[in-house]
Structure 1
């Protein structure tokens, strides 16, 4: 399924940007030619069929993922399976010849309502198909908590996992939100979301760009 070239008011926006020069070797601006995103698969308990969509901006500087049913909760009669939700996106990112990209940082946002004694975690993993390198980050929030949440993943230049040059590989993003009741009263409800109930909630993936080695 090919993502339409659209910009949207979305929950999860993935913006393409170049790292500043001082962060590592000089990096060229994002390639001016069109970037096309093909959606290989979208699956998981946090993104059932029809509840997640990907769109690419017209200026080729962003692609947007929108969720409408990404919520984990415990207590108040919620089934045990509701405590953990995940969503894996498998994407084919077609970039102009001579360029490659890597995830440099990611900013996640959502909303959490946690009773005293309860906690929640947000975890994200990134990897290219066939690569042994997986980057994962986990962030924990503890109750009492009743507010928007934000988590930032940063990757040092030396640890960036680059897409292989000249080879098309699926890029996988696997996110997870989990809520633990802990010592909170079982009749109370705690939950965490990463969805579209609030237009200010967004996830921003910053991409670093570099030119592939020239073929001799």
Structure 2
């Protein structure tokens, strides 16, 4: 099913474009983030100086269960509707995403990170997921690789939609104890890195 979705997305893209040897020069900016896990004011976005990636730092993106958790806290999501303002003559895809954070899972509890990526007006490329099983109390990392990398048509500035979801399940753990998964670290320095793949337009 995922292969069919990817094929459909590729069919809607333009012809094969030559790979750019290096990221384009000039200013690249990124706009717009929203979602229950990333309300306005709780994220910061920056583009690397060489235009090879952009980075998102979350300050309140966490799912949890147990004492003090609201019924809806077991699941949090963040939809990034990204408009990348790229230099003329280039289009971009996302070749890799590096996620990081912290989790505490009681024995028997589980957590999951799910993600999907698609350009506005193009077919979804399907979900990717990573799972964890308690007991665990440590920083976590996960990587999604774009294979194949999907690009929008040349000359069209389409938003890139990136959906992520954190979900924690009590499972067989003690419901009186807290389990959580955060896209953040104890020291507040964890970030999500979105790596660009640039191509030149004809």
* TM-score (normalised: structure 2): 0.84
> Residue 174 of structure 1 corresponds to which residue in structure 2?
163
The 1:43–1:36 alpha-carbon spacing in structure 2 relative to 1, beyond 3 Å, is closer
Secondary structure class of the residue paired with 2:73? helix
Kindly state the Cα deviation for residue 123 of structure 1 after the two structures are TM-superposed. 1.2
Kindly state the Cα deviation for residue 171 of structure 1 after the two structures are TM-superposed. 1.0
For 1:154 and 1:129, how far apart are their aligned partners in 2?
20
The 1:128–1:145 alpha-carbon spacing in structure 2 relative to 1, beyond 3 Å, is same
Instruction: Indicate conservation of the 8 Å contact 1:103/1:206, yes or no.
Output: yes
> Residue 8 of structure 1 corresponds to which residue in structure 2?
none
Kindly state the Cα deviation for residue 62 of structure 1 after the two structures are TM-superposed. 3.9
Instruction: Verify: 1:84 aligned to 2:75, yes or no.
Output: yes
Instruction: Verify: 1:35 aligned to 2:28, yes or no.
Output: yes
For 2:101 and 2:83, how far apart are their aligned partners in 1?
26
Kindly state the Cα deviation for residue 135 of structure 1 after the two structures are TM-superposed. 4.1
Structure 1, residues 16-55: CA drift from partner, whole Å, max 9, x if none?
A: xxxxxxxxx754210112212233xx22111123212323
How many residue pairs get matched? 185
Q: How does 1:138-153 map to 2 (within 5 A)?
A: 138-153=129-144
Instruction: Indicate conservation of the 8 Å contact 1:67/1:196, yes or no.
Output: no
Structure 1, residues 86-130: CA drift from partner, whole Å, max 9, x if none?
A: 111111111112211111111111001000000000111111111
For 1:210 and 1:26, how far apart are their aligned partners in 2?
5
For 2:24 and 2:132, how far apart are their aligned partners in 1?
38
- Choose which of 168, 179, 201 in structure 1 pairs with 2:190: 201
For structure 2, list consecutive stretches of 5 or more residues without a partner in the other structure.
1-17
Instruction: Indicate conservation of the 8 Å contact 1:66/1:196, yes or no.
Output: no
Instruction: Indicate conservation of the 8 Å contact 1:133/1:161, yes or no.
Output: no
Q: CA RMSD in A?
A: 1.8
